[in-house]
Amino acid sequence: MKIITLKITLTILLCTFIITCTNAQMNQEDISLDYTYIGSGNAEDTNAISFSKFVAKGTIYRKITKNKSVFFHTASYANININYSDALNIVTELEQFHSFSYSIGASIPMKNNWRLTAVFSPTLASNFEGKVQFNDLQFLGIAFFGKAINQSKSLYLNIGAMYSNTLGSPAPLPYFSLIWNASKKLKYELGFPNTGLSYKVNDKVSLGSKLFIAGDNLRLGNNLVYQNQLTPVDNIRLTNFGWGLEGKMKLNKHISLKLAGGYTFSRKFELNDGSDVIHEFNLDNNFYGTVGLSISL
């Protein structure tokens, strides 16, 4: 049943992606592969839990020269593995999860040099141990306006709102950023959910540093009872807040390599019944690392 469900889900998402992109004038295609690992801390601690995540993503852009609009479609797959301390005696249903998502977005010029950008992304994230239901779907929505706010156009403001139940709060959140292009090589960004800077060393190498918040909300195909709790668990929520360094290098015209690493300031891992917390693990902060490959066609 699990394999059949995975095949059906993947087929539906791929068909949707192909149909929408077939009708578009394709100007650019991007493919990226990323692997991230967050360490567990003290192996003897019952809260010693490590995480690994592999993400494969493909994006197709359509640029309209006449009015400078940009439309894009993105399909992605993620495999999330959670490794627990042996002392917890965790059942296998809480160890591996799969996530499928499709995003459609547009960036459209408005009056007075404003630009409207909007993204809508349904996601199906589960362990696929049982039937897939409509309430297993999660939704991410972002809409914001952007504009250069000085004469030299070195300062750019984005302001809007976002909705995501993967960041620990299933409610609208502010989305904003102030971007300062200090020079042709140096750029700063201050905002939520990302803050950082980047420096272009040369045409092939760039370095950066950023604060970030990221997370996942993962559904369980079958509800389970955790350590004799009266209320069953139907989803888990992961939220990480941290800081890190990042480097990117162009290997050739089409392929780039990314390396990143840093430290978490806050890690939240909850077993939930709906939005009610059944159990929260007190995780130690730890180092994380990411390696990625991107291809532009």
Of 3 and 101, more confident: 101
Q: Does the pLDDT value for residue 274 go beyond 90?
A: no
Percent pLDDT > 90 in the chain is: 49
Under the banding of pLDDT at 50, 70 and 90, the label for residue 294 is very high
pLDDT for res 17? 41
Please report, in angstroms and rounded to a whole number, the separation of the first and last CA atoms in the chain. Answer: 37
Of 215 and 176, more confident: 176
pLDDT for res 45? 60
Domain ranges of the chain: 2-25+45-296
Under the banding of pLDDT at 50, 70 and 90, the label for residue 248 is very high
pLDDT for res 24? 40
Across residues 69-75, what is the average pLDDT? 93
pLDDT for res 217? 87
pLDDT for res 42? 63
pLDDT for res 164? 79
| Per-residue model confidence as pLDDT tens digits over 178-210 | 999 999 999 999 998 889 999 999 999 999 999
pLDDT for res 18? 39
pLDDT for res 2? 42
Specify whether the CB–CB gap between 92 and 81 falls below 8 A.
no
Across residues 95-124, what is the average pLDDT? 94
Across residues 137-151, what is the average pLDDT? 92
CA distances in angstroms from 200 to 134, 188, 211, listed in the order given: 45, 12, 19
pLDDT for res 80? 95
Across residues 135-145, what is the average pLDDT? 88
CA distances in angstroms from 111 to 63, 144, 145, 157, listed in the order given: 19, 14, 11, 15
Q: Does the pLDDT value for residue 111 go beyond 70?
A: yes
- Closest listed residue to residue 261, CA positions, set 293, 292, 289: 289
Residue 86 class from Cβ within 10 Å (0-12 exposed, 13-18 middle, 19+ buried)? exposed
pLDDT for res 91? 65
Residue 31 class from Cβ within 10 Å (0-12 exposed, 13-18 middle, 19+ buried)? middle
Of 51 and 43, more confident: 51
DSSP code per residue over the chain:
-HHHHHHHHHHHHHHHHHHHHHTS---EEEEEEEEEEE----TTSTT--EEEEEEEEEEEEEEETTTTEEEEEEEEEEEEEEE--GGG---GGGTEEEEEEEEEEEEEE-GGG-EEEEEEEEEEEE--SS---GGGEEEEEEEEEEEE-STTS-EEEEEEEEE-TTSS--SEEEEEEEEEE-SSSEEEEEEESEEEEEEE-SSSEEEEEEEEEEEEEEEEEEEE-STT-SSPEEEEEEEEEEEEEEEEEESSSSEEEEEEEEEEEEEEEEEEETTEEEEEE-PPP-EEEEEEEEEE-
